[in-house]
């Protein structure tokens, strides 16, 4: 299904007066409000093709129905999100869950919804039905060169799909590691992985990047071969300029200072981009900003500072994607909440007086430095984010409109209550 622009406009008119009052108040408080609104209009966050269905845990999965069963339906769902918020204009495909059989037709459909293709993602963390050799003991790190080659070939195939769709990056997340002390030789596992990654890197087109994503634990529980940003950066530095480190917010040990990691990766020109989600305990994959919104803001504060210092385009030069799972919510509503939280944190970071902050730091005025950040975080930016959506043609209240139009019920009627989207 598709949303009608006129319906969105009519809905917005009913909310306009109150919105404009709020906006006028925020503009009094935030001196660079217009510049922030423009940056928000430009900012797009990719939606992964695996996040459109209900997620689950090893204890079960409770589908809400109407899930997209095909790649075409997944593109339609991202199209719905983009029509609502005008900030989800990209989709990130996971191979082999979403192999485009007719790339030209898929590209045309995406184009119809105003979507482009973000990073393509390979999968060597599970065995596929038609797969010859098993990844039970790793893929790119495997002791058997034939398994490593199979995993390399898969990644090269993913690059080829990406080229057909206009993607510009390959994200490699490996579950490689070990579950017990003594199981693997750490050095050999690293060297095998590096050699495998080098073979994949050699196949990247000139204007492509390789995103090396790290994760502290799970599914391996003793060691992960790309376990933290140090290991990822080591690989990225050895591989070359096209390889960079991808930060997934849920992939750290508890209480890691992610904003500091971001700052240093940017200093090195090695930050690839982000996978947004939130967590309380581990890789919980909850809605961005649901648990630690202040951390999300502090990360954006470093991102904006680092991007500005390097003269980067906020919207284009780093990869922005949501990587979350929705166990108890409508996936589309959850994704709308995540995008809103990311936009709010970004807007708050854009409002920070960088010069005043740097002066306070130089003077060791701890109180002023802390206040500058906390004041920005405590400023209500919802009207600016809504205004950006309004100017771009989206809904003032995306979830409100989604519910008013009974979108989920319509999807259930269209697709049935038993469809299952491929994914996690």
Residues that bind Mn ion (CB under 5 A): 248, 275, 323
**Least CB distance to Mn ion at residue 197 (A):** 17
Q: Are 261 and 229 in contact (CB under 8 A)?
A: yes
Whether the ω angle into residue 405 lies within 30 degrees of 0, i.e. cis, is no
Smallest separation (angstroms) from Mn ion to the CB of 383: 31
Minimum CB distance to Mn ion smaller for 39 or for 252 = 252
Structure tokens at 234: 């080591």
Q: Which is nearer to Mn ion, 318 or 350 (CB)?
A: 318
Which element (helix H / strand E) includes 172? strand 169-173
Q: Which two tokens stand for residue 298?
A: 């502090």
Give which of 352, 353, 334, 346 is closest to 408, Cα–Cα. Answer: 334
Q: How far is the CB of 269 from Mn ion (least distance, A)?
A: 21
Would you say 315 or 424 has its CB closer to Mn ion?
424
Q: Where are the alpha helices (DSSP H) in 258-353?
A: 258-267, 293-309, 331-350
Among residues 45 and 84, whose Cβ is nearest to Mn ion?
Answer: 45
Please state, in angstroms and rounded to a whole number, the distance separating the CA atoms of residues 48 and 90: 9
Place of tokens 């807007």: 347
Largest CA distance in the chain: 66
Residues 6+ apart with CB under 8 A from 341: 287, 288, 289, 290, 293, 296
Give the C-alpha separation, 150 to 191, whole Å: 17
Please give the backbone phi and psi of residue 178, each rounded to the nearest 5 degrees, phi first: -150, 155
CB of 267 vs Mn ion, minimal distance in Å = 23
In the complex with Mn ion, which residue's Cβ is closer, 176 or 323? Answer: 323
CB of 324 to Mn ion, least distance (A): 9
**Cβ 141 to Mn ion shortest distance, Å:** 19
Classify residue 164 by burial, with Cβ atoms within 10 Å: 0-12, 13-18, 19+.
Answer: middle
Q: CB of 275: closest distance to Mn ion in angstroms?
A: 4
Look-up of token digits 């240093």: 264
Give the shortest CB-419-to-Mn ion separation in angstroms: 24
CA distance 172 to 225: 12
Q: Which is nearer to Mn ion, 182 or 254 (CB)?
A: 254
Contact of 132 with 83, CB cutoff 8 Å: no
State the minimum distance, in angstroms, from the CB of residue 212 to Mn ion.
12
The residue among 94 and 275 lying less far from Mn ion, judged by its C-beta, is 275
Which is nearer to Mn ion, 154 or 389 (by Cβ)?
Answer: 154
> What's the token pair of residue 371?
């206040």
Nearest distance from C-beta of residue 5 to Mn ion, angstroms: 33
Residue 120 vs 376, nearer CB to Mn ion: 120
Q: Are 294 and 345 in contact (CB under 8 A)?
A: no
60 in helix, strand or coil?
Answer: strand
SS3 247: strand
Kindly state the tokens that stand for 297.
Answer: 């803001």
Q: Could you write out the DSSP letters of every residue in 339-394? A: HHHHHHHHHHHHTS-HHHHHHHHHTT-HHHHHHHHHHHHHS--HHHHHHHHHHHT-
83 vs 172, beta carbon nearer Mn ion: 172
């Amino acid at each position: 299904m598709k949303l009608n622009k006129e319906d969105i406009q009519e809905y917005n008119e009913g909310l306009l007066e109150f919105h404009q009052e709020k906006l006028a108040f925020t503009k009094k408080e935030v001196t660079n409000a217009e510049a922030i609104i423009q940056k928000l209009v430009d900012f797009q966050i990719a939606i992964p093709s695996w996040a459109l269905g209900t997620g689950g845990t090893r204890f079960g999965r409770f589908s809400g129905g109407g899930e997209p069963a095909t790649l075409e339906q997944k593109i339609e769902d991202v199209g719905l999100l983009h029509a609502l918020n005008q900030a989800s204009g990209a989709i990130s495909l996971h191979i082999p869950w979403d192999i485009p059989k007719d790339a030209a037709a898929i590209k045309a459909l995406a184009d119809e919804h105003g979507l482009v293709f973000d990073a393509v993602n390979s999968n060597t963390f599970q065995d596929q039905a038609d797969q010859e050799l098993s990844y039970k003991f790793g893929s790119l790190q495997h002791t058997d060169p034939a398994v490593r080659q199979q995993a390399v070939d898969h990644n090269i195939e993913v690059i080829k799909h990406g080229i057909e769709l206009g993607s510009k990056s390959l994200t490699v997340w490996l579950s490689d590691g070990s579950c017990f002390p003594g199981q693997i030789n750490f050095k050999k596992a690293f060297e095998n992985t590096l050699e495998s990654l080098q073979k994949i890197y050699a196949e990247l087109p000139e204007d492509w990047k390789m995103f090396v994503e790290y994760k502290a634990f799970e599914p391996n529980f003793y060691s992960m071969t790309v376990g933290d940003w140090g290991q990822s950066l080591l690989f990225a530095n050895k591989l070359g300029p096209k390889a960079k480190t991808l930060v997934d917010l849920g992939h750290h040990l508890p209480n890691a200072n992610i904003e500091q990691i971001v700052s240093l990766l940017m200093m090195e020109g090695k930050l690839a981009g982000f996978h947004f989600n939130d967590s309380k305990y581990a890789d919980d994959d909850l809605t961005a900003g649901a648990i630690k919104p202040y951390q999300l803001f502090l990360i954006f504060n470093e991102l904006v500072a680092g991007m500005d210092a390097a003269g980067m385009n906020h919207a284009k030069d780093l990869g922005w994607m949501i990587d979350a799972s929705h166990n108890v919510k409508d996936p589309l509503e959850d994704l709308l909440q995540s995008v809103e939280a990311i936009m709010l944190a970004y807007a708050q970071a854009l409002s920070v007086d960088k010069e005043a902050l740097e002066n306070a730091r130089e003077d060791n005025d701890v109180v002023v430095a802390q206040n500058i950040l906390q004041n920005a975080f405590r400023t209500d930016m919802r009207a600016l984010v809504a205004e950006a959506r309004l100017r771009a043609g989206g809904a003032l209240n995306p979830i409100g409109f989604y519910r008013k139009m009974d979108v989920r019920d319509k999807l259930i009627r269209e697709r049935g209550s038993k469809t299952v989207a491929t994914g996690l």
